[in-house]
Amino acid sequence: MTTETATHTTVYRVTGMTCGHCEGAVTAELSELPGVTSVKAVAATGEVTVVSTAALSQDAVRAAVDEAGYELVGQA
């Protein structure tokens, strides 16, 4: 018997990321949100892909990105 877990993938636009360190800071903060299973930040495009077990509150995502020192523009 296999159990499938629903996942939610959301791509966000983040401004201010310019390098690998920036990507790491954003990834670290977003990874701490409850339910987040994967984060991939790409400074070159300003896109951050977040995979989670449930939909995330945009306010929670914004707070995590702010904590990392960057600005959440919205969903891509």
Q: Is it the case that residue 3 has pLDDT exceeding 80?
A: no
Spell out the domains of the chain, with CATH numbers in brackets.
Answer: 8-75 (3.30.70.100)
pLDDT at residue 4, rounded to an integer: 56
Beta bridge partners of 51: 9, 38
> How far apart are alpha carbons 51 and 57 in whole angstroms?
13
Tens digits of residue pLDDT in 55-66: 999 999 999 999
Residue 51, Cβ density class (10 Å: 0-12 exposed, 13-18 middle, ≥19 buried): middle
Q: Is it the case that residue 2 has pLDDT exceeding 80?
A: no
Q: Is it the case that residue 5 has pLDDT exceeding 80?
A: no
> How far apart are alpha carbons 12 and 29 in whole angstroms?
14
Q: Is it the case that residue 52 has pLDDT exceeding 60?
A: yes
Q: Is it the case that residue 30 has pLDDT exceeding 90?
A: yes
The answer to whether the CB of 51 falls within 8 A of the CB of 31 is no
